[in-house]
Amino acid sequence: MDFCTLKYTENFPKTMLYDAHIHLSDPEYESEIGLVINSMHQIGIKTCAVSMDVQSSNVTLNLAKKSNHVLPFIGIHPEKASDDLDSMTSLIEQNAKTLSGIGEIGLDKTYTKTDEDFARQKQVFTKLLEMAEKYHKPVSVHSRATLDEIFQIMPSYKIPGFLLHWFAGSKKQLGQAMDLGCYVSYGPVSVYSQDKQVLISLTNKDKILVETDGPVRFSRCFDMKSAHPSFIPSVVFCISKILGISYNEAEDMLETNSKQYLGI
């Protein structure tokens, strides 16, 4: 079903919605970050603001000081695996009390040229999982084409909330993720992608989260605009229709799931 043709007419939710994965530290948001944060307060959305490296992690931490709707996640993305791991572990240690989670971390062979590059990604990933375990923090994990490797690694760590953001695996891999107790998040593309809608229908209801992955751009009804937290209600509406529940029931479910993932 193409939900681009459906109009969202209900009032904004009284409960709190959560964008489980967005890059508010990205330079694309810099000129309008005040407007973005203000809209989050107006709509009632909190964001799990993930980071790419040490530099963006510091930006994220500063944004979190400006609004309690910005939930800071810091870490090293697999694309940035050459970043200073020691500096990142120190940053986590220094901010452990205020961090909401560790992320974006993970594996992705797209960003490697040699076996050594992938070994470095694994070194960074496992070290940051170790830090998440030590400080009892949830993680936001990048898993493009590396779900099988991640499924082998994650049982070695006791992580309170393990999110496979932007889930793009097979139905079989989704079943494995559910068996391992992972959360999976779906974004604006779900509004018009039948493949994503099928995956949503097969996901355990208590493991579904929603995200924008901003500033990623989306086509169709989103007109190739940079993703904004205000896109979240459209994703919630889509999920409510797929699951055959009301919008209010969907937002209540997602708020509960988000709080369980975050441990709040």
Question: What's the pLDDT at 235?
Answer: 97
Percentage of residues in the chain having pLDDT higher than 90: 93
For the purposes of burial, counting CB atoms within 10 Å of the CB of 31, is it exposed (0-12), middle (13-18) or buried (19 or more)? exposed
When pLDDT is cut at 50, 70 and 90, the band that residue 15 belongs to is confident
Query: Contact at 8 Å (CB) between 102 and 139?
Result: yes
Only one residue has tokens 């939930």, namely 71
pLDDT per position as a tens digit, 198-232? 999 999 999 999 999 999 999 998 999 999 999 99
Question: What's the pLDDT at 67?
Answer: 97
List residues bridging with 19 in a β-sheet: 47
User: 4 Cβ partners below 8 Å, 6+ apart?
Assistant: 191, 192, 220, 221
pLDDT per position as a tens digit, 166-193? 999 999 999 999 999 999 999 999 999 9
CATH of domain 16-262: 3.20.20.140
Question: What's the pLDDT at 3?
Answer: 55
- Domain boundaries of the chain, sorted by first residue: 16-262
pTM: predicted TM-score of the whole model, two decimal places? 0.94
Question: What's the pLDDT at 36?
Answer: 96
Question: What's the pLDDT at 7?
Answer: 41
